[in-house]
Amino acid sequence: MIEVSRLNGKSYVLNCDLIKTIEATPDTIITLNTNEKLMVRESVNEIIDKTICYKKKIFFGIPEVIKE
């Protein structure tokens, strides 16, 4: 799940596994597998980075913080 923002600034959480396409028109439009379209404030690259970060957490776990 990734956090994205509507154009009015309100945040919500999106299941990134449902993303079919992301396009910049210049607003960022996310099309889901259900063909629902969402317009968000984040850029295409931000959505990609958030998705990669989420997938890393899922597959590799959250890294432990080492305290000295």
Q: What is the pLDDT of residues 6-21, one digit of tens each?
A: 999 999 999 999 999 9
What residues does each domain of the chain span? 2-59
Residue count of the chain: 68
Rounded Cα–Cα distance for residues 60 and 18 (Å): 21
Place of tokens 């432990």: 64
Q: If residue 47 lies in a helix (H) or strand (E), which one and from where to where?
A: helix 44-60
Q: pLDDT tens-digit profile of 18-46? A: 999 999 998 999 999 999 999 999 999 99
From 67, 61, 4, 60, select the one nearest 32 (Cα to Cα). Answer: 4
Distance CA 26, CA 34 (A): 22
Please state, for a pLDDT cut of 70, what percent of the chain lies above it.
90
